Structure 1
């Protein structure tokens, strides 16, 4: 049996151990707020090249690890990465975001989708995750991540980012049978993809249902939750001990449903007090979060106070300190560094 001190802190938190301090990482900790990333982006302007060329993706994933030593190192990738393997091509255009053309709108398109075979369509994922595990050893936890079925379907059906989600909601409310078939195919493909990431070295996998917060609770229960459950049940059937995290932006109204998804950890956004979130989710569910990314534009004393407040409210077990969303572009790197340093000294400073 591995001694618990050899197990990375984030994994210990994910399994519910009582800890002197919570582990800390940040969503979008690799990326545009870092000068080293912007320099690399100038040299390699294609997002897909940066995320699908293993050497570049490994380098980008490790940039914040080298700078700040977070307790979690997340693979640099995109939630849309597996879609071409199903027969849904996409492009990412700088400052515009993802474009899927043609968008998925018909029964014939859904019938033509193929099952995901990650060894064939996503071989770079294995190289990236294996290399990250080798690089960070037991000093940190390597995280994989995927998009959840509703959010991936929304991208594919809208064809791009959306403020209203009117195309997918139109399908949901007028042709639900077609949408349910599509969501089923996506859930099964993403389950395969999560298992592949774990087999390649991911120790924890975060599931982003970024757009499910746009659903009313009654529609979430029909179009998001059953497909999260379908995906998670398939993963847990083969990899029962790998912790899974679910993140949804704007999730205060659907928090209890997130707890019913089958994940081990619910990542809470900043619109909800984390003590209330713990109360609403119950003792079995661990939490991640939930500092407003805007706090990192504040003074150091303000950042310190928010870190301590969050840690005290979340308690000393089953909490991973994180932001309530990704690091914002323009965030001062020194404040990110201060955030990590303060979080990692929390056991002494809070004593």
Structure 2
């Protein structure tokens, strides 16, 4: 149902307002830790069907909203979803993850890629986001998300998940011009995709450069940062008021460089203390995070103390409380519920400790 005319709480934080508590949501909050999701997955075993069928994707996106009332509702999708629209087919196998066949390895393949037309290849995304906006109104912000160029290129070139990223790094160091062409193509298509999500109802968009943390700072500055900036610059040229978030796993070594991307908010993982992240990034950039997902396996007093510690260090402006990575599949649902409950009572808790 459409709510009041108030601006969603998460959007206020993303725009830098001083608030009594930070808004809260979780990465991967719609997913395998919830029994209701596992039941639906058993009925519809294809991930792509679950994420590209409007009715199913909306239902999955709303499962944590109904259970926990987070301040952000993120659409259920995948960072690889736009690749077929560029001419890169993929499948997701439940036990193995994404498979891209044939992997992108030649100049001819790069030359044959096509620019993304979301209206043609991703019409379900518009319907999902429009429906989510209608369902949650202004009670929560609707988040879209995309993969960043380096990470999407890594999947496409490796052909699957990787532990050493040897194939894309070999291309980076031996055929850099081909890789730069590929990264540029992806960046322009992803910028188009972000704008499409915003026009469809996304109020905040998070960009995942999940694998960029595997780059040295020198190589990050060459192969990841310029293409993050290219996406952000194109989006901000047409949608300057929509907050953008950047997340990288294992980002401690490139945290300052993340701040150079042009995004409004840097999502911090747990390998960096929140107070240190604030110092390194500066207070002009918002922060998100950064609680270790394994904290949710601890006792309720332990969970509460970690929440309070993070919020104290982040301060009362420009902080979105989140995990430092996605919630883990075996997390007890009651602990997820307690995480949200505690976060929403934090102004009272801080006043009494």
Check whether TM > 0.5. yes
Residue in 1 that maps onto 2:70 = 70
Per-residue displacement from partner, 1:184-209 (whole Å, max 9, x unpaired)? Answer: 00000000000000000000000000
Contact 2:5 2:138 in 1 (8 A): no
How much has 1:283 moved relative to structure 2? 1.8
SS in 2 for 1:290: strand
How much has 1:348 moved relative to structure 2? 1.1
Residue in 1 that maps onto 2:7 = 7
Residues 1-351 of structure 1 mapped to structure 2, 5 A cutoff: 6-351=6-351
Task: State how far apart, in whole Å, the 1-side matches of 2:116 and 2:172 are.
Answer: 24
Task: State how far apart, in whole Å, the 2-side matches of 1:260 and 1:171 are.
Answer: 25
> What stretches of structure 1 move > 3 A for 4+ residues in a row?
none
How much has 1:306 moved relative to structure 2? 0.3
SS in 1 for 2:322: strand
Task: State how far apart, in whole Å, the 2-side matches of 1:82 and 1:237 are.
Answer: 22
Per-residue displacement from partner, 1:190-240 (whole Å, max 9, x unpaired)? Answer: 000000000000000000000000000000000000000001000000000
Task: State how far apart, in whole Å, the 1-side matches of 2:79 and 2:348 are.
Answer: 38
How much has 1:143 moved relative to structure 2? 0.1
How much has 1:5 moved relative to structure 2? 8.0
SS in 2 for 1:105: coil
Per-residue displacement from partner, 1:42-82 (whole Å, max 9, x unpaired)? Answer: 00000000000000000000000000000000000000000
Task: State how far apart, in whole Å, the 2-side matches of 1:224 and 1:116 are.
Answer: 20
SS in 1 for 2:31: coil
SS in 2 for 1:6: coil
Task: State how far apart, in whole Å, the 1-side matches of 2:327 and 2:94 are.
Answer: 18
Task: State how far apart, in whole Å, the 1-side matches of 2:266 and 2:5 are.
Answer: 24
Task: State how far apart, in whole Å, the 2-side matches of 1:172 and 1:148 are.
Answer: 16
SS in 1 for 2:143: strand
Task: State how far apart, in whole Å, the 2-side matches of 1:348 and 1:282 are.
Answer: 27
Task: State how far apart, in whole Å, the 2-side matches of 1:347 and 1:67 are.
Answer: 22
How much has 1:95 moved relative to structure 2? 1.3
SS in 2 for 1:40: helix
Per-residue displacement from partner, 1:287-342 (whole Å, max 9, x unpaired)? Answer: 00000000000000000000000000100010000000000010000000000000
SS in 1 for 2:55: helix
Task: State how far apart, in whole Å, the 2-side matches of 1:350 and 1:136 are.
Answer: 29
SS in 1 for 2:335: helix
SS in 1 for 2:168: helix
Task: State how far apart, in whole Å, the 2-side matches of 1:39 and 1:13 are.
Answer: 34
CA change 1:282–1:5 in 2 (3 A) is farther
SS in 2 for 1:184: helix
How much has 1:142 moved relative to structure 2? 0.2
Per-residue displacement from partner, 1:134-181 (whole Å, max 9, x unpaired)? Answer: 000010000000000000000000000000000000000000000000
Task: State how far apart, in whole Å, the 2-side matches of 1:344 and 1:283 are.
Answer: 23
TM-score using structure 1 length: 0.99
Per-residue displacement from partner, 1:107-129 (whole Å, max 9, x unpaired)? Answer: 00000000100000000001100
Task: State how far apart, in whole Å, the 2-side matches of 1:65 and 1:5 are.
Answer: 19
Task: State how far apart, in whole Å, the 2-side matches of 1:253 and 1:159 are.
Answer: 26
Q: Structure 2: state its 5+ residue gaps.
A: none
SS in 2 for 1:142: strand
Task: State how far apart, in whole Å, the 1-side matches of 2:164 and 2:349 are.
Answer: 45
